[in-house]
Amino acid sequence: MKKKVIILGAGITGLVTAYYFSQDKDFEVTLIEKNKYVGGTAMAFEYKDFILDYGPHKIYTVLPGIINEIEKVTPLLKVKKQNSIYLKNNFFDFPLKISQIAQKMPFTALSSGIDIFTKSFSKLPDDSYENFLINRFGKTMYELAFKDYARKVWTSHPQELDKELAIRRVAISGVFELIKGILFKDTGKISADYFYYPPKGIKQLLDSLVKEIKKNKGKILLQKEISEIKLKSHKIDYIKIGNKKIKPDYLISTIYLDSLLDLVKNQKNINEQKEMAGNLHYQKLNILYLILNKKRALKDCWVFFPEKKFLFHRISEQKAFSEQTSPENKTALMVETTKELNELNINIIIQQLKSIGILNENEIQEYFTKSLDRVYPIYKKGFLKNLHFALDKVESIEDVYTIGRPGLFNYNNMDQCWDMAKKTFEHIKQGKTKQDWQKTKNYFDSYRIVD
Ligand SMILES: Cc1cc2nc3c(=O)[nH]c(=O)nc-3n(C[C@H](O)[C@H](O)[C@H](O)COP(=O)(O)OP(=O)(O)OC[C@H]3O[C@@H](n4cnc5c(N)ncnc54)[C@H](O)[C@@H]3O)c2cc1C
């Protein structure tokens, strides 16, 4: 008899997990998504003649075999990556090139050089995002590139943020590695020269995954949620969807860890567990989409804006990812911000973009906004205790697995979601148990993002 697999959440991780299980005749798979659309944080949509992402979603990976796996589902373009960072009224290549800093900001370069050679910065206790980065990049570089960016994205004081955030989000461990990378042109570890992208946007990838799952007789239930997971001796007794009780062989969750634990009704320490998982906070992200009556707005795919004075932290142009996502004479700019997108802030953003020469008001055909509530995990100091507590609770249930970005409270990119989905399928297919799972989980923890 086929084994029943229920997957919660149809983001990239859930879709890819369902795709692998649906291909195997030993399994019967049902994917349950609470929204009326699939894609989760990587959702994509059509707007008039445009195909748009929720913020730019390039595909890049250092994980072996993943691009081949994605290409089995959708064609991919190989796109030259061009991106910048805007600092002190200048655009700089990103990652920063020391020669450019020396030329355009000589005093900053000098001050940064003094930081490096006196090593005066390596004295702070390594106990926060701020100290961790000052210890590795020096105060000058930290204040220039990391400090205000953290305040903008995580809306928290960088001293309150855990050093784990710097470890997981900043691909380079320090300024010496940065210099070595630049001198020896070994930037692959810190930044890619190119990326992959489906010609018709991330929507093409999502649509293809849905098509494959359905072709293989997998079920996708939209606007559905389960209301209860009932346990019996550390295993699922049944789950409830509406009034229906089902006993799956495996439940693979890619939803938020606290939402999953909320569903488990007869766990011990339920209140403590809820409180711990509830402490894993997220930051909301708003996106302003500006439809412009011109062919292109940027020379870059995306530009970072770490400085406090700008209301946004990144802008990107969908057309730079694939020409096929936008009409020939128009372009769409995506502006990412954690500020509320009310009329006042939208006007300020437009004026700020105008002041740096990106657009003129008369080029704006129209604009609209989108937001997702729980996008960036906020790693407050000490969050790992809460996270491990919540994860241990899930790991104590033999037939429930939690993976994906919300499922592990991490910053995984889509390639890592794909890899996790594949590894989880292989683990279950090979009949491995929760004892073997710890090794796989440690491997997931070792993922680092290369932008
Ligand atoms: C602005 C931005 C830019 C990014 N850029 C890139 C990039 O360039 N390249 C890259 O590789 N990655 C990028 N990422 C990361 C990428 O979006 C994520 O890695 C990926 O989307 C995570 O997928 P997931 O399936 O793990 O989680 P999610 O996408 O969060 O999916 C979880 C799903 O579960 C559903 N759900 C929640 N609760 C329930 C419930 N109770 N019942 C049923 N369903 C539920 C949600 O609706 C959602 O569909 C970016 C992220 C952001 C925010």
Domain ranges of the chain: 3-42+201-279+380-445, 95-190
pLDDT band at 178 (very low <50, low <70, confident <90, very high): low
Range name among 167-181, 258-272, 285-299, 334-348 with the lowest pLDDT average? 167-181
Q: Quick check: 267 and 261 in contact, CB under 8 A? A: yes
pLDDT of residue 271: 67
Q: Quick check: 323 and 332 in contact, CB under 8 A? A: no
Percent of the chain clearing pLDDT 90 (strictly above): 71
pLDDT tops 60 at residue 172: no
pLDDT tops 90 at residue 272: no
Helical ranges in 184-251 per DSSP H: 201-215
Q: Residue 16 carries which side chain, given as an amino acid letter?
A: V
pLDDT tops 80 at residue 195: yes
Which among 36, 414, 416, 419 is the best mutation to test ligand 1's pocket, defined by most ligand atoms within 8 Å of the CB? 414
CA distance 113 to 141: 10
DSSP class of residue 62 equals -
The finding on whether 314 has its CB within 6 A of some atom of ligand 1 is no
41-64 residue pLDDT tens: 999 999 999 999 999 899 999 999
The finding on whether 325 has its CB within 6 A of some atom of ligand 1 is no
Intra-chain end-to-end CA distance of the chain, in Å: 44
169, two tokens:
């989000």
The finding on whether 128 has its CB within 6 A of some atom of ligand 1 is no
CA distance 45 to 394: 33
Q: Quick check: 267 and 228 in contact, CB under 8 A? A: no
Other CB atoms closer than 10 Å to residue 224's CB: what's the count?
Answer: 15
Buried b (16+ CB within 10 A) or exposed e, 188-208: eebbbeebbbbebbbbbbbbb
The residue that leads in pLDDT, 168 or 246, is 246
Mean pLDDT, residues 166-188: 58
Nearest-atom index, ligand 1, CA of 372 = 53
Nearest-atom index, ligand 1, CA of 420 = 26
Could you give phi then psi for residue 75, rounded to 5 degrees? Answer: -70, 155
pLDDT of residue 183: 47
Mean pLDDT of the chain: 90
Other CB atoms closer than 10 Å to residue 35's CB: what's the count?
Answer: 15
190, two tokens:
């810190």
CA of 117 to the centre of ligand 1 (A): 42
Q: Quick check: 433 and 28 in contact, CB under 8 A? A: no
Which among 20, 43, 57 is the best mutation to test ligand 1's pocket, defined by most ligand atoms within 8 Å of the CB? 57
CA distance 22 to 350: 46
Nearest-atom index, ligand 1, CA of 55 = 1
Mean pLDDT, residues 75-79: 98
80-97 residue pLDDT tens: 999 999 998 999 887 777
Architecture of the domain delimited by 3-42+201-279+380-445 = 3-Layer(bba) Sandwich (3.50)
CA distance 79 to 416: 20
Could you give phi then psi for residue 416, rounded to 5 degrees? Answer: -75, -35
Nearest-atom index, ligand 1, CA of 226 = 42
The pTM assigned to this predicted structure is 0.93
CA distance 320 to 199: 11
Range name among 104-118, 313-327, 368-382, 385-399 with the lowest pLDDT average? 104-118
Percent of the chain clearing pLDDT 70 (strictly above): 91
CA distance 292 to 362: 9
Mean pLDDT, residues 349-377: 96
